[in-house]
Amino acid sequence: MSFYDELKVMYSAEQIRKRIGELGAQITRDYQGKDFTVIAILKGSYIFCSDLVRAIDLPLAVDFLGLSSYGGKTETTGVVRITSDLSKPIEGKHALVVEDIVDTGLTMAFLLENLKTRQPASVKICALLEKPQRALRKIDIDYKGFVIPDEFVVGYGLDFDERYRNVPFIGVLSKK
């Protein structure tokens, strides 16, 4: 018995692996000949991002940006904090933001406004999950893994109070 046996599997490790391969192939086609930086949004996207960059067959840079809006809860507080900034400028570069989940859109809207001030050549979004029923701000996601219903999910980098990130699939956390 494992600590995550109580989770209901939404997407298996195999389904995730297959979808990331498809996303990687699409990004490879779209970014041919471009100088681009993949920006992993910490902490949730680090597993997704590491698998995604290995599926992209191009030279690229990777940087990290820490954002927080949940504060240990299952509902966003609506207040977004930068907890760790990029290590290098993105001015004139094509930026690909890699996020674990876009639900209310508030965090991503904040991030896009922030990145725009840094004068990149372009900014596109790659999100593993989108939860459109919770959207308060419409966010156009250029590369989308899966659209999910309004359930609280964990695993594959997504957490509840810093736990469950190491679960190899995306699962629904029971309301207990």
Catalytic residues: 103
Burial pattern 121-139, b for ≥16 Cβ within 10 A else e, equals eebbbbbbbbbeebeeeeb
- Alpha carbon distances (Å) from 144 to 73, 171, 176: 25, 18, 30
Vertex 20 angle, CA 168 and 25, to 5°: 160
Q: From CA 119, how far away is CA 121, in angstroms rounded?
A: 7
- The answer to whether 20 and 55 are in contact (CB under 8 A) is yes
Vertex 45 angle, CA 39 and 50, to 5°: 75
Q: Which residues contact 15 (CB under 8 A, 6 or more apart)?
A: none
Helices (H), the chain: 13-30, 46-54, 106-116
